[in-house]
């Protein structure tokens, strides 16, 4: 059989993780990454094509005929990259443009959840600022204001006061700070509890959940400071107790896929449910239409089997539970970020100690915002590295990840020293 080619679209920590896993699958497929980073260059061949240049990606794929294209980020999915590949006779893993609306429009996602009876925060949608403010004054604080569309993680305001919420409404509907994405807002009930990320593979009909994970969205320890793309993660997340799995499967995943199907939308790819584990049980905060970042960095290394057969099965409609097997190990990822992130930060600073860190047993240093320059690896993004450790339990996994962080240096590096604190606290309680 000819060597299989796989195209991974994207260039962050999630894509390095996917490329690393796929390159190590049986048969060692030849992995390409567009555009990739300095880490993907170690396991794949980087292509100088941005993840959002759909036409250039199709052109490359028509010439190279990859077995499968795996789409990492939401932007090309919401733009319809999978439809475009399919129309060209090319196989791509991910939802169609219509299905990706589940992430691309929070109003659409809410409408699906309300129609299907999926547990979620009570919400109303507005395009008029006056009406939105009248509604939120009636609701009182705390209250959540969300821009409808993709806003690079900046579109959600969890407001402690009514005036903060009003300012968020104005930013979106009056000042147009999120452009088209903020022409509609949702005003949502504020849920209390601990968050968890549930990622599931879906083939249009069959649903296979992946191991649970928890992300750390705030930039500073003790969950202080602004939200980021994610400062670290761990898997499994003990807050998702075994007793909740049948509920999550039935009430969240199955109901959502069934409601989409009822509307003629076939969901294939990763369905990612961001859950709040409230006193009344799990409720959906958001859906994403792709692998999470950095959740992927802690879920994928726990697989005790190849990844490609499961991704293929999603595209072909032949997904089943027995395509995935899991290690008992826990996994933890500590994100090393550039100083100043999620605000402005420097780029081009040399990163040292990568080899020494990667030489540690059960440590994988996934690259996120890195580039190669003059034979050196330099910073090239806000989230620079996802330093990942596996271990018999979370404490052991974290120990490895932090030991590895200690070997790595770059100017103004910043990372949280409390990744996994909720799970460790829980363990100490029991
Ligand atoms: P989202 O992009 O919808 O996940 O929102 C980003 C973050 O805002 C979530 O991870 C939560 O921390 C928070 N959030 C979103 N919706 C709510 C809600 N209804 N109640 C409380 N927190 C929320
Ligand atoms: N870790 C959050 C996300 O991928 O959106």
**DSSP track, 252-282:** IIIHHHHHHHHTT---EEEEEEEEEEETTEE
Residue 120 above 70 pLDDT?
yes
Note the ligand closest to the C-alpha atom of 153: 1
Instruction: Return the pLDDT at 152.
Output: 78
Note the ligand closest to the C-alpha atom of 285: 1
* Ligand 1 site, residue 293, Cβ cutoff 6 A: no
Q: How confident is the model at residue 282 (pLDDT cuts 50, 70, 90)?
A: very high
Mean pLDDT of 13-42: 97
Mean pLDDT of 340-361: 96
Residue 226 above 90 pLDDT?
no
Note the ligand closest to the C-alpha atom of 156: 1
Topology (CATH level 3) of domain 194-323 = D-amino Acid Aminotransferase; Chain A, domain 1 (3.30.470)
Q: How confident is the model at residue 153 (pLDDT cuts 50, 70, 90)?
A: confident
Beta bridge partners of 389: 332, 363
- CATH homologous superfamily of 128-183 equals ATP-grasp fold, A domain (3.30.1490.20)
Mean pLDDT of 65-86: 98
Quick one: which atom of ligand 2 is closest to the CA of 290? 4
* Ligand 2 site, residue 13, Cβ cutoff 6 A: no
Mean pLDDT of 38-58: 98
* Ligand 1 site, residue 121, Cβ cutoff 6 A: yes
Q: Which residue minimizes the CA distance to atom 3 of ligand 2? A: 292
Mean pLDDT of 354-382: 97
Q: How confident is the model at residue 258 (pLDDT cuts 50, 70, 90)?
A: very high
Q: Tell me how far apart the alpha carbons of residues 423 and 294 are, in angstroms, rounded to a whole number.
A: 17
Residue 188 Cα to ligand 1 middle (Å): 9
Q: Tell me how far apart the alpha carbons of residues 120 and 217 are, in angstroms, rounded to a whole number.
A: 20
* Location of structure tokens 């980073």: 37
Q: 117 φ, ψ to 5°?
A: 75, 30
Q: Which residue minimizes the CA distance to atom 4 of ligand 1? A: 286
| Among candidate residues 364, 350, 370, the one with its CA nearest the CA of residue 404 | 364
* Ligand 2 site, residue 74, Cβ cutoff 6 A: no
Instruction: Return the pLDDT at 425.
Output: 83
Top mutation candidate among 285, 287, 289 for ligand 1, by most atoms within 8 Å of CB: 285
Q: How confident is the model at residue 191 (pLDDT cuts 50, 70, 90)?
A: very high
Residue 402 above 70 pLDDT?
yes
* Ligand 2 site, residue 292, Cβ cutoff 6 A: yes
- 361: Cβ–Cβ under 8 A, 6 or more apart, which residues? 400
Residue 115 Cα to ligand 1 middle (Å): 21
* Ligand 1 site, residue 141, Cβ cutoff 6 A: no
Mean pLDDT of 173-179: 89
Instruction: Return the pLDDT at 427.
Output: 61
* Ligand 2 site, residue 288, Cβ cutoff 6 A: yes
Per-residue pLDDT tens digits for 128-148: 999 999 999 999 999 999 999
Stated pTM of the model: 0.96
Mean pLDDT of 56-65: 98
Quick one: which atom of ligand 2 is closest to the CA of 288? 5
Instruction: Return the pLDDT at 1.
Output: 57
Instruction: Return the pLDDT at 8.
Output: 98
Quick one: which atom of ligand 1 is closest to the CA of 215? 10
**How do the domains of the chain map onto residue ranges?**
5-94, 128-183, 194-323, 330-429
Q: Which residue minimizes the CA distance to atom 5 of ligand 1? A: 156
Angle value at C-alpha 313, between 310 and 318, nearest 5 degrees: 130
Q: Which residue minimizes the CA distance to atom 4 of ligand 2? A: 292
- 48: Cβ–Cβ under 8 A, 6 or more apart, which residues? 34, 35
Mean pLDDT of 276-289: 96
Note the ligand closest to the C-alpha atom of 155: 1
Beta pairing class for 30-35 and 5-10? parallel
Q: What CATH number does the domain located at 5-94 have?
A: 3.40.50.20
Note the ligand closest to the C-alpha atom of 218: 1
Instruction: Return the pLDDT at 154.
Output: 80
Residue 2 above 70 pLDDT?
no
Residue 426 above 80 pLDDT?
no
Instruction: Return the pLDDT at 429.
Output: 54
Mean pLDDT of 363-377: 97
**3-state SS assignment for residue 248:** helix
Q: Does domain 330-429 have CATH number 3.40.50.10490?
A: no
Q: Residue 259 in contact with residue 358, Cβ under 8 Å? A: no
Q: Whole-number mean pLDDT of the chain?
A: 95
* Location of structure tokens 């299905």: 99
Q: Which residue minimizes the CA distance to atom 13 of ligand 1? A: 158
| Among candidate residues 108, 187, 109, the one with its CA nearest the CA of residue 143 | 187
Dihedral sign for Cα 204, 207, 213, 216, please.
positive
Residue 276 Cα to ligand 1 middle (Å): 8
């Amino acid at each position: 059989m000819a060597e299989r080619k796989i195209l991974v679209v994207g260039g962050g920590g999630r894509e390095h993780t996917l490329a690393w896993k796929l390159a190590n699958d049986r048969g060692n497929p030849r992995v390409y990454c567009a555009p990739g980073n300095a880490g993907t260059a170690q396991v794949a061949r980087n292509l100088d094509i941005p993840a959002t240049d759909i036409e250039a990606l199709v052109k490359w794929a028509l010439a190279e005929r990859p077995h499968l294209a795996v789409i990492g980020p939401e932007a090309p999915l919401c733009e319809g990259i999978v439809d475009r590949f399919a129309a060209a006779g090319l196989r791509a893993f991910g939802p169609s443009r219509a299905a990706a609306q589940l992430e691309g429009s929070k109003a659409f996602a809410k409408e699906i959840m309300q129609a299907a009876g999926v547990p979620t925060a009570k919400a109303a949608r507005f395009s008029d600022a006056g009406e939105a403010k009248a509604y939120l004054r009636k609701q009182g604080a705390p209250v959540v204001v969300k821009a409808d569309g993709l806003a690079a993680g900046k579109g959600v305001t969890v407001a402690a006061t009514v005036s903060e919420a009003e300012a968020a409404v104005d930013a979106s509907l009056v000042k147009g700070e999120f452009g088209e994405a903020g022409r509609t807002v949702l005003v949502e009930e504020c849920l209390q509890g601990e968050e968890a990320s549930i990622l599931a593979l879906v083939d249009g009909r069959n649903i296979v959940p992946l191991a649970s994970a928890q992300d750390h969205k705030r930039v500073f320890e003790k969950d202080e400071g602004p939200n980021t793309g994610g400062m670290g993660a761990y898997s499994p997340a003990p807050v998702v107790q075994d007793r909740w799995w049948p509920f999550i499967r039935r009430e969240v995943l199955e109901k959502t896929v069934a409601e989409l199907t009822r509307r003629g939308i076939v969901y294939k790819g990763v369905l990612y449910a961001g859950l709040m584990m409230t006193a009344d049980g799990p409720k959906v905060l958001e859906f994403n239409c792709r692998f999470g970042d950095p959740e992927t960095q802690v879920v994928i290394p726990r697989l005790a089997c190849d990844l490609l057969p499961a991704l293929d099965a999603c595209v072909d409609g032949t997904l089943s539970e027995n395509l995935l097997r899991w290690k008992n190990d826990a996994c933890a990822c500590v994100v090393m970020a550039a100083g100043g992130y999620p605000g402005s930060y420097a780029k081009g600073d040399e990163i040292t100690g990568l080899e020494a860190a990667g030489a540690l047993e059960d440590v994988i240093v996934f690259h996120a915002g890195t580039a190669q320059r003059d034979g050196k690896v330099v910073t090239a993004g806000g989230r620079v590295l996802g330093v990942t450790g596996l271990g018999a339990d979370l404490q052991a996994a974290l120990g490895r990840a932090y030991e590895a962080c200690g070997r790595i240096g770059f100017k103004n590096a910043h990372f949280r020293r409390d990744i996994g604190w909720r799970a460790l606290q829980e363990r100490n309680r029991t």
